[in-house]
Structure 1
Amino acid sequence: MTAPTISSLRVNGATLHYEVRGRGPLVLLIPGGTGGAASFDGMAEDLAADGYTVVGYDPRGMSRSTLDDPDAEQHVAEHADDALRILDLLSPDEPALVFGASSGAIVALHLLTAHPERIARVVTHEPPVVEVLPDAAEHRALVARVQDTFRTQGLMPAMAVFAAGLNKDGDTKDGDTAEPEARPGLPPRAAARAEQTMADLPYFVGRIVPGFMSYAPDIRRLEGLSDRLVIAGGQDSRGELPYRSAAFLAERLGTELQHFPGGHVGLTTHPAEFGELLRKAFRS
């Protein structure tokens, strides 16, 4: 694997870690959940080899991207402004291709609506925009339960409540909503990534979940930009909450939901197949 060029960018209230591979039109990869630039390692090099400049980064507060105020509330618009700053730095004169996964897909949606002139095409994989759903009130209550459990019982009970609310069968078995925990026998790189995931979980649960799952996309604005937007769901996550949100949003916009391999984290479980479909989506 070719090592990326690693840099940092100072933004409002944070310092972002980002990684660049290849040469060509810019592809910005926006990770979701507790993922960072490392979550794209399995497909970023193939994208770069296909003639793109590929940029992944750690969202503010995650992994190597530090916050000036670790207790600051997190807002989708501010995260989208971070992504814009990267675009302006690395592709100031040309619109970019953007991929966002999960909470990163919410960021990508906001980036498209706020700065469409900077975007050539956006692919969003299972954005959990629960506010578009008819039963949105139930999911607001879920977020409130997660936050209450986090405050009163701690991280892992809160994650159990969250996973049960996301999964179609209401339990936590075979969940595909987060990166795996660190386990004995993992290769060193995977073990380090799993360890970082666990370290980022409190921030994700306490800051990202409430800040992002309350976000309501601008449907009317997205309707006018739908020719630049691909909404995708996982082949194996039908019925789960992020899939439902993506499918309902696609229906509202009158577009076809595209299916990518795997479930909610298919980009890490099926990186080659996922990357191949992503390249096709960028070209369509």
Structure 2
Amino acid sequence: MNSAFTATTQARTLDVPGASLYYEVRGAGPVVVLVGAPMDADSFAQAAELLSADHTVVTTDPRGIHRSPVDDRDQDSTPEMRGDDLARILTHLDAGPAVVFGSSGGAVSALALVQAHPELVHTVVAHEPPLDELLDDREELRVKTDEIIDAHLAGDVVGAWRKFLVLANIDLPEPVFQQMFAGERDAQTEADEHFQHAHMLRPTTRWCPDVAVLKSVPTRVVVGLGEASAGQLCDRTSRALAAELGIEPTMFPGGHIGFAEDPASFATRLRAVLREG
């Protein structure tokens, strides 16, 4: 059992079109949703526990990942679908308007949520969204993303992850890479990684935000960026989104997964960002 899964954590499920969503609720107070893709609720557990001291914190496994099974595992998981899932959770909890912090693919899900249901979100923090289509080299990025997907689906898991890290401009020491990606993988990890590569990566990285809508909604839009992410692909995409919106990126501690690397610093920074709003 995760050490951050305390007696105050409520684990629940919600049936939605095509899936059964697993989500967790902690604490009491203003609602904050922490969401990733493909990262599941466990990735945010420690940060959620810290924030639950003064917030109601909602975390979830995105459809098709871990404890959120889908009816059709051959169907893509699009940002619009995942945004609708978040809207259904918030509506079910009668929890809007809420703060939604989305990271990586979860940031894309959160932006899709705001475009469709701005009334449910008073502040969205899109932390390092991989919006490749905003970049001038988008065609090259599409080709390289397809190569990653093809390698993984052909069974070259290690090769696919090497290609992914090169494309993302993330440099891992070889022992760390071996530990993370080259060891034996359990059945759930294999299933999640297959779903990610077969049905999440392409629709997420090829999604285009409607900048006009994001600028017109009453929702406060924050583009989050890790202080340690300089030069990485998601540094470029985050800065491109911020430029389109006419705002400056808001810096967070750590890198692409700073919320997991240093949950205490992340929680402190998110509280400060919310106070600024």
TM-based fold match above 0.5: yes
Asked if 1:24 is matched to 2:29, the reply is yes
Q: Is the 8 A contact 1:159 1:205 kept in 2?
A: no
| Aligned-pair CA distance for 1:223 | 2.0
AA matched with 2:123: R
2:41 equivalent in structure 1: 37
Asked if 1:68 is matched to 2:71, the reply is yes
Asked if 1:203 is matched to 2:195, the reply is yes
> Which sits farther off after the overlay, 264-273 or 199-208?
199-208
AA matched with 1:274: F
SS in 2 for 1:98: strand
| Aligned-pair CA distance for 1:238 | 0.8
Give the TM-score normalised by the residue count of structure 2.
Answer: 0.89
Say if 1:203 and 1:32 are closer, same or farther in 2 by CA, change over 3 A.
same
| Aligned-pair CA distance for 1:274 | 0.6
Q: Is the 8 A contact 2:122 2:218 kept in 1?
A: no
| Aligned-pair CA distance for 1:236 | 0.9
1:95 equivalent in structure 2: 97
Superposed CA offset, 1:193-229 (max 9, x none):
x985454211111211112111011111122248601
Asked if 1:239 is matched to 2:231, the reply is yes
SS in 1 for 2:29: coil
Asked if 1:222 is matched to 2:226, the reply is no
AA matched with 2:18: G
Superposed CA offset, 1:156-210 (max 9, x none):
2222211111116xx6547999x945979xxxxxxx9x98545421111121111
Matches within 5 A, 1:1-284: 1=4, 2-3=6-7, 4-33=9-38, 35-50=39-54, 52-91=55-94, 94-167=96-169, 173=173, 180-181=180-181, 196-197=188-189, 199-225=191-217, 228-284=220-276
Say if 1:32 and 1:195 are closer, same or farther in 2 by CA, change over 3 A.
same
Q: Is the 8 A contact 1:126 1:232 kept in 2?
A: yes
| Aligned-pair CA distance for 1:245 | 0.2
Say if 1:20 and 1:227 are closer, same or farther in 2 by CA, change over 3 A.
closer
User: Separation in 1 of the partners of 2:78 and 2:141?
Assistant: 18
| Aligned-pair CA distance for 1:147 | 2.3
User: Separation in 2 of the partners of 1:227 and 1:151?
Assistant: 39
| Aligned-pair CA distance for 1:82 | 0.3
Say if 1:23 and 1:153 are closer, same or farther in 2 by CA, change over 3 A.
closer
RMSD value, Cα: 2.5
SS in 2 for 1:263: coil
Aligned-pair identity in percent equals 39
List gaps (5 residues or longer) in structure 1.
185-191
User: Separation in 1 of the partners of 2:176 and 2:84?
Assistant: 29
Say if 1:64 and 1:123 are closer, same or farther in 2 by CA, change over 3 A.
same
Q: Is the 8 A contact 2:132 2:237 kept in 1?
A: yes
Superposed CA offset, 1:78-127 (max 9, x none):
111000000101125x4111010100000001111111111110111100
| Aligned-pair CA distance for 1:74 | 1.7
SS in 2 for 1:67: coil
User: Separation in 2 of the partners of 1:8 and 1:219?
Assistant: 33
